[in-house]
Amino acid sequence: MASEEVLYVEGGQALHGEVVVQGSKNAALPMIAASLLATEGQTVLHRVPPVKDVLVALQVLRELGARVEYDVERGVAVIDASGDISHRLPEDLSSRFRASVLFVGPLLSRFRRAWIREVGGCTIGSRPTDYHYRGFARLGAEVQGIAGGGFDVVAERLAGSYMYCDLPSHTGVENLVMAASLAEGESVIENAASDPEIVDFVHLLQKMGAEVEGAGTRTVRIRGVKKLRGAEHEVMYDRLDAGMLMMAGAITGGDIRLQGVELDHLGIFTAKLQQMGVHTTQDGDWLRVQGPQTLSPINVVTTFYPGFPTDLQPCIMALACVAKGDSYVRETVFENRLGHIKNLRAFGAQLSPEKDNLVIVHGPARLKGAQVRALDIRAGAACVLAGLAAEGRTSIHNLYQLDRGHAYLEDRLRNLGAKLERL
């Protein structure tokens, strides 16, 4: 068995210099799934980040029968799904990769059948997929559970329908849009999530020939078409990678410039950073981020877009640990996304979890290097930030989690003057 890789961070360096934000994982994933809808032509995606979740998604496509070329250096994926494609998702990959549910919508749409081995919860919560399957059923599909967990979804025909999400679900909307894109007639998805990744994904679908209106609002309408063809698209920049890098500049009291920050996608997040004393200045394509000597405390409540993103909650909690005074951070999107409290305590931070997923962070803590384990992508990113701010050496284990969402992270941080090494 290969020995586990560990990321060592020698903290205490203020970051300086320039860094480029990667392409968006959460926009690229539904686009990769959507390529299955094209019965002619190739789907060409630019700025596809080589993060582990994307590599697994491309492997799922290959195992389904698509031809996939991925130029990692250029970030270009060329996908041809016009040949024979299986409706059965590869079991080993789909059972350990949550975003595999995104393949069900397009397979159902194109073949009227999809089979998936799906698992239950993950470290951030139970992550149900009931909105997805209820929506497929409303389009006319029969959804049957399979022994051991998963679903066999079969439809004789799919007919446009009224669908809804009880809570605005990000991948739920993407999946239902794909499922309805080749159905007969019109569909509506009410209480849809409005995240920028959904808007970007719908742009690709429109280029493929889909008729979708209202992406980015709470009501999305789809008029089914007869067929879809491959198209070319540049994936948006990753707002979560951008946010993480902005906070790396901020927590070290650094002065960095980032290319690829869409401030429109990060409104409340940027306002919160500014309230903490961080200066941000837009200069053409570049955003300058200057961290103060001492950060101010902050109140954060995570919620659906355009609210404060749950995916940036672990990292801003790391910032709150070193801010002068008490901060209040409440997680409302996922019921179990506070596992990083344990990590942050290992660095010497003072945090009091209260009821209802509220955490009071008592700053400022003098963080000391620690040995920690990345629980998920974003908790891992919080450990990197704490390690950058801490005195002494930090070792981060379980890097697979970090690699699921950030590509070349240590190279990019090293270019900013951080001292880190993967061994």
Q: Which residues are catalytic?
A: 122
> Is position 334 an interface residue for ligand EPU (rule: CB under 6 A)?
yes
> Is position 193 an interface residue for ligand EPU (rule: CB under 6 A)?
yes
Binding footprint of ligand EPU, residue count (CB under 6 A): 23
> Is position 132 an interface residue for ligand EPU (rule: CB under 6 A)?
yes
Cα 59 from Cα 76, distance rounded (Å): 15
* Closest approach of ligand EPU to the CB of residue 34, in Å: 13
Cα 49 from Cα 25, distance rounded (Å): 7
Q: Which of 13, 22, 24, 26 binds ligand EPU (CB under 6 A)?
A: 26
> Is position 172 an interface residue for ligand EPU (rule: CB under 6 A)?
yes
Helix, coil or strand: residue 297: coil
Dihedral sign (CA 190, 121, 90, 197): positive
Q: Which of 79, 333, 374, 375 binds ligand EPU (CB under 6 A)?
A: 333
Helices assigned H by DSSP within 313-407: 313-322, 340-346, 377-389, 399-403
What is the number of other CB atoms lying within 10 angstroms of the CB of residue 164? 17
* Closest approach of ligand EPU to the CB of residue 131, in Å: 3
The pair of three-digit structure tokens given for residue 216, joined into one six-digit string: 């980015």
Give the residue with the Cβ less far from ligand EPU, 141 or 322: 141
Footprint of ligand EPU on residues 84-123 (CB under 6 A)? 99
Length of the chain: 423
Of 423, 301, 417, nearest to 12 by C-alpha is 417
Q: Which of 131, 237, 269, 347 binds ligand EPU (CB under 6 A)?
A: 131
* Closest approach of ligand EPU to the CB of residue 405, in Å: 6
> Is position 218 an interface residue for ligand EPU (rule: CB under 6 A)?
no
* Cα-based angle 267, 335, 397 (whole degrees, multiple of 5): 85
| CB neighbour list of residue 141: distance below 8 Å, 6 or more residues apart | 108, 112, 153, 154, 155, 158, 179
Window contacting ligand EPU (CB under 6 A); options: 108-116, 170-178, 313-321, 389-397? 170-178
Q: Which of 194, 310, 357, 398 binds ligand EPU (CB under 6 A)?
A: 310
Helix, coil or strand: residue 351: strand
> Is position 194 an interface residue for ligand EPU (rule: CB under 6 A)?
no
Footprint of ligand EPU on residues 362-391 (CB under 6 A)? 377-378
* Closest approach of ligand EPU to the CB of residue 153, in Å: 14
* Closest approach of ligand EPU to the CB of residue 109, in Å: 18
* Closest approach of ligand EPU to the CB of residue 77, in Å: 16
| CB neighbour list of residue 257: distance below 8 Å, 6 or more residues apart | 17, 18, 19, 283, 286, 287, 288, 289
* Interface ranges with ligand EPU (CB under 6 A): 26, 29, 99, 125, 127-132, 167, 169-172, 193, 310-311, 333-334, 377-378, 405
